[in-house]
A and B are shown apart, each in its own frame.
Chain A
Amino acid sequence: METPSTPIIRMERIQKIYDTGKIKVEALTGIDLSIHKGEFVAVVGPSGSGKSTLMNLIGCLDTPTDGEYHLGGEAVAGLSRDGLADVRNRRIGFVFQNFNLLSQISAFENVEMPLVFGGRKVRERRERVRELLERVGLGDRMEHKPTELSGGQMQRVAIARALAMEPDVVLADEPTGNLDTGSGGDIMSLFSELWAQGRTLVVITHDMSLARRAGRIVEMRDGRIIADGAAAA
């Protein structure tokens, strides 16, 4: 089991090379990163610095070329495809810049999906989804399809979905990138609330006003971490 000293995320010498055949792009060049339970980490850096690649690796959406990655004390490299799917289901909650909701099913069904994959019973799912959507302020929009919602509302549905399985870490990739200032602000406040409730958050952002809400800022450039420290309040 995890003791307070064991980080939830522990990356050592993580390397990621995209090999397109003609050219090799080294997206990450030996990343060492540990994140502990309850941290709110903002990853910042210019585009092409490797932020998104890092997030995909943390979320097990992609596999590193080299290096070791332990998630919740478990070596990810040894997992089967089903094992990886289960890790994504239970340990990680994703929030994407473009929401990535399934557009043809309702907000309710979108939030329900990770619970379906997690094998939860129908009644439990129903209660949980209602509770989550109410918490993000969409209790009256449950049967709406994503296309019938505003950007801010879609992102709140996505956050509710990310929280459905009570994951160890919530990963967000530019969560306010596609939103106007107003709804972006709402989302930022929601993240602050989640942190206050003791959740572990890793947020990739360009937006310094969001990054400043985090407890720790990791700055990247050219595939490496160039600064890592407490956010200046």
Chain B
Amino acid sequence: MKTTRRTLIAALGTLLLKPLAAFAAWNEQAFGAKTAADALKTLGASSPAASKDIVIEAPQIAENGAVVPIEVSSNIPGTSSIAVLIEKNPFPLAGRFEFKDGALPYVKLNVKMGETSDVRVIATAGGKHFAASREIKVTIGGCGG
């Protein structure tokens, strides 16, 4: 291929875009939502159906709100994503995990909790949304970290 100004500009553009394209965008709107309901609306999951096939493993009482371990898995066939929301945090949406072929719909993470709150987990399977929640009591809030 002959190097013309046009191909050079195109090549340069590809180079500049590449680091960005390597990662999915960050959903500023959903993460910036101040209520769980607003966050869910932004994610297109306004009225999820309650499901017993979402398993949330977490302590009933977290002494330190700065590090609350939460383990989530979905037994709903075809689960493609899991979102974790902490209802009473200033910004409830804590994370959203997309599972492709080869990954199990499972994640364990540590989160900060400002106060005692329901933790709501939304699993998406075949375009449908399912929810489960669990209350975690927090003795010392952990949003200052």
Q: Do A and B originate from a single complex?
A: no
